[in-house]
Amino acid sequence: MEHIIEILKDDEQYYGEYGSQFLSNSQISTLLRDPKSFGKKSEKSPAMLMGNYFHYAMTEPDRIDEIPVIDVSSRNTNAYRQLKDIALLTKEVDQMIGCVKAMKSNKKFIKDIYALGNEYEVPAVIEIEGVMWKGKTDILAKDKLIDLKTTNDITKFWRSANDYNYDSQAWLYQKMFGLPMEFYIVDKNTKRIGIATCSEEFLERGEAKVYKAIEQYKKFFGDNPTEDIEQYYDEFTL
């Protein structure tokens, strides 16, 4: 699979047509909660751009200029509405710069994130139940994977980890790379920082999500789907 990984090192390939043949952790939410939307291109959001800016500033500073920024007070201004694409507001950039400063002000974070020999934005693939998955770890260190996260409330990161499927991400990436994953977190509002390790319960929950997503994928979208996605409906127990 080395030739696949070489191709996926190129972001245009990873996020483009070539990479679309693989499932990724970002699709698990759709497969589990809204399978009718699977395969549809998702719109960019300010939160996504903020995340990109933060990651670039931490590990790929030469790419920061790829993020469009506009100096206006809000997205309701005429100047913003005239843009052809979404952009960050300068106050959002300032918020992300504050997050970067918070992480870089801590000696352990600096030592771990920028350790000699670390690799950044490293792709990997794995086959599970006949389905190919791709992933790209933020930081591949000697003894662990480091994933950088921002959060609106670090005291409730455990909830975000479930809502945004960080549990399935951790399980998948640990399978891909054979190393434990740790989340290095910064609170966007308070600038508190923290490190979250993964318990067995957390990883087991992630594993269950992955296998459920595979089940949904095969049922509706695999080589031999057994059900028509247009007939899908939600079921609830109240």
HEC per residue, 145-205: EEEEEEECCHHHHHHHHHHCCHHHHHHHHHHHHCCCEEEEEEECCCCCEEEEECCHHHHHH
- Contact of 193 with 186, CB cutoff 8 Å: yes
Give residue 117's pLDDT.
Answer: 97
Among 14-23, 35-44, 147-156, 183-192, which stretch is predicted with the lowest mean pLDDT? 35-44
Give residue 186's pLDDT.
Answer: 98
Region of residue 130 (left: phi > 0; alpha: psi -120 to 50; beta: else): left
Q: Indicate whether 17 belongs to any domain.
A: yes
Give residue 196's pLDDT.
Answer: 98
Q: Indicate whether 234 belongs to any domain.
A: no
- Domain of residue 17: give its range: 2-223
Average confidence score pLDDT of the chain:
95
The rounded distance, in Å, linking the Cα atoms of 69 and 15 is 22
42, pLDDT greater than 80: no
- Contact of 161 with 176, CB cutoff 8 Å: no
26, pLDDT greater than 90: yes
Q: Indicate whether 123 belongs to any domain.
A: yes
Q: What is the CA radius of gyration of the chain?
A: 19
Give residue 1's pLDDT.
Answer: 79
Amino acid identity at 217: Y
CA dihedral sign of residues 222, 224, 229, 230: positive
Q: Indicate whether 94 belongs to any domain.
A: yes
> Can you tell me the mean pLDDT for 136-155?
97
Name the strand (E) or helix (H) holding 215: helix 200-220
Q: Indicate whether 97 belongs to any domain.
A: yes
The rounded distance, in Å, linking the Cα atoms of 57 and 50 is 10
Band of the pLDDT at 204, cuts 50, 70, 90?
very high
Q: Which residues pair with 89 in a beta bridge?
A: 70
Summarize pLDDT for 69-126 with one digit per residue, the tens: 999 999 999 999 999 899 999 999 999 999 999 999 999 999 999 999 999 999 999 9
Q: Indicate whether 202 belongs to any domain.
A: yes
Give residue 61's pLDDT.
Answer: 95
Eight-state DSSP code of residue 17: T
Give residue 43's pLDDT.
Answer: 78
Q: Indicate whether 229 belongs to any domain.
A: no
Which CATH number goes with the domain that contains 115? 3.90.320.10
214, pLDDT greater than 80: yes
Band of the pLDDT at 127, cuts 50, 70, 90?
very high
- Contact of 139 with 59, CB cutoff 8 Å: yes
Place of tokens 């296998």: 211
Give residue 176's pLDDT.
Answer: 98
Look up residue 13 and give its two tokens: 């390939």
Report how many domains make up the chain: 1
155, pLDDT greater than 90: yes
Q: Indicate whether 228 belongs to any domain.
A: no
Give residue 192's pLDDT.
Answer: 98
